[in-house]
Every structure is written in C-alpha cells, then in structure tokens.
Structure 1
Amino acid sequence: MLTAIIHGFILSLGLILPLGAQNIFIFNQGARSKRLYEVFPAVITAAFSDTLLIYLAVGGVSLLILSFPWLQNIFLTVGLIFLVLIGWTIWKNSSVDKNKQMQRLPIKKQILFALSVSLLNPHAIMDTIGIIGTNALHYSGNEKWAFAASCATVSWLWFFILSLAGHLTDKVMDGTRGMILVNKISALMIWTVALYLGYFLLHQ
C-alpha cells in the first residue's frame, strides 16, 4: 500500500510541475486576489477536475472517450476556444489603468475557465489516461485506489501552493507594473498552448 502511495505522489508531482495553461491560470488568479480565499473557487475547481480525471483514468472509464475520435475532437475544439478566450481576458486586464488594482475574475468565470483548462486540456487528458492510468495497472484493489488518491492529493496541494505563490508575487510587485507584465506573459503562454492544440487537431 505504501509503495502505491509513494509511486502515485512522485509520478503526479512530476506531471503537474511543468508550466501549462492550468498552472498559469491558477497563479494568475492568485496574483489578482486581494485576499487569498478569493481564488479558492478556481483552485477547488481545478483540483476537483484533476481528481475526476485521475479516478476515471484509474477506473478505465476515460478510455471510452478516446475510442470515439469525433467526441475527442469536440472536446479539443471547445478547449481551443476557451483557451483563446482565457488568453484574451488575461491580456485585456493587462491594459487597465496602472493606478487601478487589477481584479480577479468573478466566481462563475473562475469556475468556468478552471474547468476548461482542466477538463479540455489535451495535456491533462493524456497525462491522466496515458501515464497515470497506465501506471495504475500495476496495482489492484485497495492499492489501486490508494495510488489514485495519492495522485489526486498532489493536485490539491499544488494548486493551493501555486495560488499562494501568485498572491505573494502580487504583494511583492504591489499589483501594478510587475503584474501587468505577468499578465501579458501568461496570456502569451496560454495562446501558445492554444496554437499547439490547433496544430494537434489539424494533424491527428
């Protein structure tokens, strides 16, 4: 049991650390929040989405989605649209008056965007199905679900830490010129992910 837990923790940590649209969004929202708890809707939504993908992958259910190419294309197309919109929203907030504190997204938009960069993110889907799901085949019974729980725990811890890091960055940069630069870089990186997703759709 302990081996499965350690395996899941290390594997999930290695998958979640690289910078992607999901991490950028959580960090950015943390940086825009005057109080840390204001970013919790995005954090909880992203962590819950990862948990859902992990348990579907370990249970083998998510493989059914990939067996229908047309359904996969719909998911990826919607994900592409949302990434473009998220990038535009973040970029637009980089153009506000520097004397005005940039605000986080409203709760509904936080949840919607967090869902899109989590459930419609091809990297997240392939990581969970192709890597976590495959590694889970080494275990059965309680060990398999302990492995899944360990992977999910990493997501919850990481997103809370990432939102805190963004919040502290805002404090250091005083929420003005530095955060405008962070917003612009974040938007460009999200659009880069969108371009990759578009390339993937055209060449699959």
Structure 2
Amino acid sequence: MEATAFLKGIGLGGSLIVAIGSQNAYLLRQALKREFVLTCIAICIICDVVLIAVGVAGMGRLITEAPSLLFWIKIAGAGFLFWYGVRALRSAIYPSAINASDDNTAPDRKTVIAAMLAFSLLNPHVYLDTVVLLGSIGGQQPGNGRVYFAVGAMLASAIWFSALGLGARYLTPLFARPTAWRMLDGAIAIIMWSLAISLFL
C-alpha cells in the first residue's frame, strides 16, 4: 500500500513539475548563464516540498473553499508573469542584454533569489498543482499512504529541478551564439504571457 502511494506521488508529481512553466524557464535560463544555479535549485525544491506538505496536510481544501484568496493570487501572478515577459522580450530584441559573458548585466544573488521566489510562489499554477491537486489526491491516501505519496512527489521535484539545473550546462555550446539566446528569451516571453492569460480563462 505504501509503495503504491509512493509511486503515485512520483508519477503525478513528476508529470506536473516537468511541464514547462515560468519556474522551469527561469531556472533553465540561470543554469545556462551559470549564475547562482545551486541557489535556484535549492529554492525550487524547498518551495515545492513546503507546498506539497501543506497541501497533503489539508491546505488544498482550504484554498478551494476560499475563491477570493485564489482570485487575488491570480491577479498578482498574472501581473508578475506579464512584467517578466516584457523583460524577456527586450532581452530577445537587444543583443547587449543577452550576452552571457557581459559582467555588467549579471544580477546579484539577492536579485536572483527574489526572482526565483517570485516564480515559485507568485504563480497560481504552482498552488493549483502542488497544494490543490497533489494535496487533494495525497490526502485521500489511506493510513500512512499520504506520507509516502508526499515523499514521492517531493522526490520527483528534487530529481527534476536538479537535473534541469545541473544538466543545462551541456547546452552551453549551443547558447554561445546570440541567436540561440534570442530564441530562448522569445520563447520565455511567450510562455510567460500565455500563462498570465490562461489564469483567467
């Protein structure tokens, strides 16, 4: 029973986390630029672990019963995603803004931490996936099954973010060309705006 719940947690958690979103896109960009990669990975994992834990513990039901709270989370998230989409588009248009070797454009650790936390916590899709969906399914597991389900989902998160952050370095030769950075930033802008719009559809 516990093994089944554990595998369910890994399977469902992995399927939700792997989907390309604002959090994954920002982590990928930082990994390609090799700027505070371990810090970003740690933030992604910690945020997911906490959200999954509170979801399985019963917070998912609370959020679904408070539609006004979810509405304001959507407003804040959509505004942030739209703003970052504009920044990504500017980086795609102006070559000087996407030169990974330009030390003048490298952000400091505080800026990266703030951005990574924003992508992890201001995106309502994160709450819908981790707290509401994983929380509701995990909370239905009998006995200790909810614990094993939560651990499985947390493990899937840790594996994915570590693989994405540490594996992106192998794509560095490809992104040594400005054209590749333009394409990545253009794709990120589209992803951010699509997510912002989808929050109200």
- Are 1:54 and 1:152, in contact at CA under 8 Å, matched by a contact in 2? yes
1:131-169 deviation per Cα after TM superposition (whole angstroms, max 9, x unaligned): 312321342443311210110111111112112343322
Unaligned residue ranges in structure 2 (runs of 5+): none
Structure-2 separation of matches of 1:65 and 1:138: 17
1:38-64 deviation per Cα after TM superposition (whole angstroms, max 9, x unaligned): 222222112211111111110002432
Structure-2 separation of matches of 1:70 and 1:140: 31
TM-score, length-normalised on structure 2? 0.84
Over the aligned positions, Cα root-mean-square deviation in angstroms equals 2.3
Structure-2 separation of matches of 1:147 and 1:26: 26
SS of structure 2 residue aligned to 1:61: helix
Residue correspondence of structure 1 range 77-92 to structure 2 within 5 A: 77-92=75-90
Q: How far is 1:86 from its partner? A: 2.0
SS of structure 1 residue aligned to 2:5: helix
- In the other structure, the counterpart of 1:160 is 162
Q: Does 1:58 align with 2:60?
A: no
- In the other structure, the counterpart of 2:34 is 33
1:154-191 deviation per Cα after TM superposition (whole angstroms, max 9, x unaligned): 11111121123433222333153212221121122111
Structure-2 separation of matches of 1:159 and 1:105: 21
Structure-1 separation of matches of 2:71 and 2:126: 15
- In the other structure, the counterpart of 1:125 is 127
TM-score, length-normalised on structure 1? 0.83
- In the other structure, the counterpart of 2:65 is 67
Unaligned residue ranges in structure 1 (runs of 5+): none
Structure-1 separation of matches of 2:95 and 2:157: 32
- Are 1:16 and 1:155, in contact at CA under 8 Å, matched by a contact in 2? yes
Structure-2 separation of matches of 1:188 and 1:58: 32
- In the other structure, the counterpart of 1:101 is 101
- In the other structure, the counterpart of 1:194 is 196
Identity %: 26
Structure-2 separation of matches of 1:106 and 1:24: 19
